Amino acid sequence: MLALAATPAAAQDGRPRWYGVDHGAQQARLVFGVPDGGMTLLNFICDKGVPEVSAYITHPPVRLAAGTSVPVRLSDGSATLTFPATVQPPEADGLLRLRGQVPLDASFEAILAADDRMSVSVAGSSARYPLDGVAAAARPLIALCGTAARAAPAADLKVAVTNRSRRRLEQLALRAPDGIESDSDAFGYDGLAPGRTRTFTIPGGAGVCTYEISVLFEEKEEDCCSDPMPIAQQNLCDDPRIIVHD
């Protein structure tokens, strides 16, 4: 589910302002621009567990060739942060577009907690942005990717599985996207009868969320020892319910 949090002081007048976009458990954005299709001047995107934020910056014109790497300096007058960015191909409006990776560290968090102005400096050219409302707009990004979030251990994930098939479910195996093998350790090996539901816990599962799900039904003795069969890939943070059918 996508949720948008605009700054409280911003009226719907078409002027750029800070707003946050929450893409659920895996990604969040902080934007300075006009929502709903208007111009975006600053766009910071974080993916859960990644210590750097992807930054897309639209800056006043500066003569720099596409592909050039330049230092970008962010400052609110107290905290300062410098990171490398790459000049993107020019567009018809002549504005400078940059893409870089910003460390989401204490300095950046301090800037996002300020309430005055932030300057963005590139090759001797500076643009200033009001920070009114940035702290509220940045909450989804800080909550998902900030220093405190990265330091905290991933929470356990409770999942409910319902067997709506006509056969006994012997194993429900899970594999993370970067995992090599799947196993039924979290679900267990006691089986689940048709029509029954069981809740189980995946230790640290909220740090992964998306799993490949495989099932193994009860077999006749002569069909012994099959491997679980993949049935789906599901984000269990967004929907912690698994329904098994024939």
Give tens-digit pLDDT for 115-129: 899 999 999 999 999
Distance from C-alpha of 117 to C-alpha of 130, rounded to nearest angstrom:
4
| pLDDT, position 104 | 87
Whether the predicted pLDDT of 29 surpasses 90: yes
Distance from C-alpha of 210 to C-alpha of 235, rounded to nearest angstrom:
4
pTM over cut 0.85: no
Q: Which two tokens stand for residue 23?
A: 């893409």
Q: Please enumerate in sequence order all residues whose Cβ is within 8 A of that of 146, keeping only pairs 6 or more positions apart, or say none.
A: 104, 109
Distance from C-alpha of 183 to C-alpha of 211, rounded to nearest angstrom:
11
Biggest CA–CA distance in the chain, Å, is 77
Amino acid residing at 129: Y
Q: Please enumerate in sequence order all residues whose Cβ is within 8 A of that of 86, keeping only pairs 6 or more positions apart, or say none.
A: 67, 68, 69, 70, 98, 99, 100
Closest CA to 10 of 153, 189, 137: 137
**Ramachandran quadrant class, 195 (left: phi over 0; alpha: psi -120 to 50; beta: rest):** left
Give the mean pLDDT of 170-186: 88
Beta strands in 50-168 (DSSP E): 52-59, 69-75, 80-87, 96-103, 117-122, 125-130, 157-163
Strand (E) or helix (H) holding 106? helix 106-112
Give tens-digit pLDDT for 69-100: 999 999 999 999 999 999 999 999 999 999 99
Distance from C-alpha of 190 to C-alpha of 168, rounded to nearest angstrom:
10
Write down the domain spans for the chain.
Answer: 3-151, 157-244
Give tens-digit pLDDT for 190-219: 999 999 999 999 988 887 889 999 999 987
| pLDDT, position 224 | 66
Class of domain 3-151: mainly beta
Distance from C-alpha of 80 to C-alpha of 7, rounded to nearest angstrom:
23
